[in-house]
Structure 1
Amino acid sequence: MAIVEVTIAPLGTGSPSVSQYVAGCHKVLAQAKDLKYQLTPMSTIIEGNLERIMEVIRQMHETPFAAGAQRVSTSIKIDDRRDKELTMAGKIKAVTDKL
């Protein structure tokens, strides 16, 4: 299982606000019932099978184009640990246990 951080930013939209584009991307993500995700103020964190996550990110990347954006910048950060199960909650717990 992988944890992926993704930021999808439309460029040149004529407005500094991107919340409508983020909402459109999250509508795509919400349809992926096999993935867990968390919206943060700066990005979205997705947990699940890496191949499936990348498939959904590709769909999310296309969403701003469908909404009229002429350019989209997508940043992806992958944490893919294979020696033990990796979860969003587990990563947070590992730190909070040490506090």
Structure 2
Amino acid sequence: GNHRLPRVVAIDAIRGGGPAMTELAILRDVNKARIAFDGAAEVATGHWGCGAFGNHHDLMFLKQWLAASDAGARKLQYHDFDRKQSHSIVALVRKLGGMSV
């Protein structure tokens, strides 16, 4: 049939803090995620780089949203397993949801 098998991709992250906030580091992460998401109709992801690497949840979410949108994904499933860090992400989606890249 027309069923596509899921693809699992692992992406490394830059350690959070000052070095991760430079324009070069942000573009590096967006481009890396864009390549990983290429060709996917749907992307399932979560707090990439926010555990041991200590990155900011909102920034990493925005990077992945931009990358998935640019890669042509029709759906982004963002999994927040502890639900403690995503209250601001919901507000971001409501505010930016109608915009385009």
* TM-score category of the 2 structures, normalised to the smaller one: 0.3 to 0.5
Structure holding more strand per residue: 1
Give TM-score scaled by structure 2 length. Answer: 0.33
Specify which structure has the higher proportion of helix.
2
Higher relative contact order (CA 8 A, sep 6+): 1
